Amino acid sequence: MARRATITLDLRRLVGRWSLRAADHTGRFTFLVLDMLRGVAEWRIYLPRTFEQAQQVGYGSLFIVLLVAGFAGAVTSLQTGYQFTGTLPLYYAGAVISESMILELGPVLTALILAGRIGARYAAELGSMRVTEQIDALESLGRSPITHLLMPRVFAGILVIPALTMFANATGIVVGFFTAKGSLGLTYADFEYGARYFFRPLDLWYSLVKSYCFAAAATVIPCYLGFNAQQGAEGVGRATTTAVVSASVSILLLDVVITQLLLGVK
């Protein structure tokens, strides 16, 4: 009886603690986003830094994004061949490869790679700045850390991730075609016919809308967690890990939500 009471009490405490923590995060996150919206007018401060960050993030991530997209295109092509050969006309491969890359693989894989790559970087950079009092120092100099540190990072991501997604889409489709050509003997004319047959210009917009939403998740969440890091090196490590996990999970959740919305639109 006593044990049961303890377990119930612990459960209540646990739920209470989790609820408080969730409310705390929600409040802080909302204030951070509001502060960022308030800082939009101060473009003279964040714009030059945004381009600096975008250059670093864009160039640095291009190779890995294209590599992964290329492999994704190749695997999609091989699996399509494995499943459809003999049952469907060959030109269907063109449709499957291009549509899978544009609607799903391009945006999601790019966002997941960048959630790991720049998400970890942002959280670690801002976390280190927080625990070494550099953010406090910036504030004490009358400068806003939101416009000096956070907005350039977030905007750089929002600028670069959709562009990288488009490159990833193109690379995946091209590699997918060459793989299909090698393994299935698919001709360019068949591939193009299949790709064009099912393609709607709106698909590209979907891809772009998805990538913008993913970009926001892959940058704002790590920035928030790094900005609020505490307790020295351990805190920075925790913030970095949490940032990558939270950003990745958010991207996957957003993927479901946006896909449902997009299908509804269709």
| Site of interaction with another protein (CB under 8 A) | 38, 129, 132-134, 136-144
Judge contact between 100 and 201, C-beta under 8 A: no
Rank residues 128 and 248 by Cβ distance to another protein and give the closer one: 128
Q: In whole angstroms, how close is the CB of 115 to another protein at the nearest point?
A: 23
- Whichever of 147 and 250 has its CB closer to another protein, that residue is 147
Instruction: State in angstroms the smallest separation of the CB of 130 from another protein.
Output: 11
- In the complex, least distance from residue 62 CB atom to another protein, rounded to whole angstroms: 22
Least CB distance to another protein at residue 61 (A): 19
Shortest Cβ 11–another protein spacing (Å): 22
What's the 3-state SS for the chain?
CHHHHHHHHHHHHHHHHHHHHHHHHHHHHHHHHHHHHHHHHCHHHHHHHHHHHHHHHHHHHHHHHHHHHHHHHHHHHHHHHHHHCCCCCCCHHHHHHHHHHHHHHHHHHHHHHHHHHHHHHHHHHHHHHHHCCHHHHHHHCCCCHHHHHHHHHHHHHHHHHHHHHHHHHHHHHHHHHHHHHHHHCCCHHHHHHHHHHHCCHHHHHHHHHHHHHHHHHHHHHHHHHHHCCCCHHHHHHHHHHHHHHHHHHHHHHHHHHHHHHHHHHC
Q: Take residue 60 and report the two structure tokens written for it.
A: 């640095």
Q: Which is nearer to another protein, 143 or 196 (CB)?
A: 143
* Minimum distance from residue 233 beta carbon to another protein (Å): 14
Terminal-to-terminal C-alpha distance of the chain: 57
**Pick 68 or 150: Cβ nearer another protein:** 150
In terms of CB distance, is 32 or 138 closer to another protein? 138
Identity of the residue, 39 or 237, whose beta carbon is nearer to another protein in the bound complex = 39
